[in-house]
Amino acid sequence: MLDLKNKHVFITGGSAGLGLAIAKVAVARGAHVCLIARRQGPLDAAVADLKAAAPNAAQQIIAEPADCAVTSDMERAFANAVTRIGLPPFLIVANAGTAVPKGFLDLTPQDFQWQMNVNYMSAVNASHVGLRAILEGARRAGTTAEGRIALVSSVVGLIGFSGYSAYGPTKAAIISLGQCLRHEVLGGAARHVKIHVFLPGTMDTPGFEQEQKTKPELTKQLEKDDPILSPDECAKHFFNGVDKGHFQITTTFTGELLRCAGRMHAPANNFLDYFKALMALIGLLFWRRTELDPFAEKYPMIPDKSAAVAVAVDEERAPLAEENKDK
């Protein structure tokens, strides 16, 4: 079990859902915790709940309101947290994120940019500023830098399908970021800093309830057999993987198969990964033929008589028509 007693745990997206569930476990293990989110009200409520559950009154549980997608906000939040708690971060959980599941043509350019900022850039800022804070803390103390950085991605980052054209790529980018970071910290001053990428499946959170309002029917059908876990259940899976030092961590058997099939050069958790990868290849072939492709035909994202497509085509042809008229 990872020893968190009297260690500084820094969690973005920590006021609710998975972030708060991870914070509960960290507090139960004796950690000092700093929660990051944009709204002060939910942060205050989360801090009050955690303080009430803390096994030691001396544990420091604080909150810093910040927009994780803004680098200066992250720099301020880390600086304040280190000053208030009096310790550099030991475990950083980059959990801030959002999803707007819609058809590709139903999304606006702003939807794509917003999700990239909230999901990917928040993870970049938390890990970039956080790793510097870990190294600086060790330099000041004259010790070896130690710590963990956990990036929260999603099983959707391993396999893209309809409805997640804006969300999925941001989570795939986080997986790639984690692979790059894991490689970079293998040697040098950060050689005792471990990287984790968490790949949860469907989770029963306030965000999930909001997603259902815009989620296409095709997406719902493809996800219908995916078990819906509570944030507390997912937090248990998270710490189970972190405690064992696993690089990529999942919450369901399907997620585990996808992880094994798509881990590329990421290190295996154990020899069973190779057997699971073979199972995943067979399972993915079956799923594509029985659900993935048939459902795409049954629940079309771009109808044959799509007004949006018709307008786009007409606008595209208009200049050509004028050009041909002049010839």
Q: Is residue 319 part of a domain?
A: yes
Dist. CA 204–CA 290, nearest whole Å: 27
Dist. CA 18–CA 235, nearest whole Å: 7
Dist. CA 191–CA 174, nearest whole Å: 21
Q: Is residue 39 part of a domain?
A: yes
- Is 244 noted as a catalytic residue in this protein? no
The kind and range of the H/E element at 174 are helix 167-184
Q: Is residue 302 part of a domain?
A: yes
Number of independent structural domains in the chain: 1
Per-residue pLDDT of 138-180, as tens digits, reads 999 999 899 999 999 999 999 889 999 999 999 999 999 999 9
CB 34 within 8 A of CB 20: no
Q: Is residue 3 part of a domain?
A: no
Per-residue pLDDT of 260-311, as tens digits, reads 887 655 677 888 888 888 888 888 788 878 877 787 678 766 565 544 444 4
- Characterise 300 by phi-psi region: left (phi > 0), alpha (psi -120 to 50), beta (else): beta
Q: Is residue 318 part of a domain?
A: yes
Q: Is residue 2 part of a domain?
A: no
Which of 171, 194, 215, 276 is catalytic? The answer is 171
Give residues with Cβ within 8 angstroms of 211, minimum separation 6: 99, 100, 101
- Is 171 noted as a catalytic residue in this protein? yes
Structure tokens, 267: 């290190």
Q: Is residue 186 part of a domain?
A: yes
Domain containing 151 equals 8-326
CB 115 within 8 A of CB 167: yes
Amino acid at 300: P
Q: Is residue 279 part of a domain?
A: yes
Which of 102, 167, 194, 276 is catalytic? The answer is 167
CATH number, domain of 234, equals 3.40.50.720
Model pTM score: 0.84
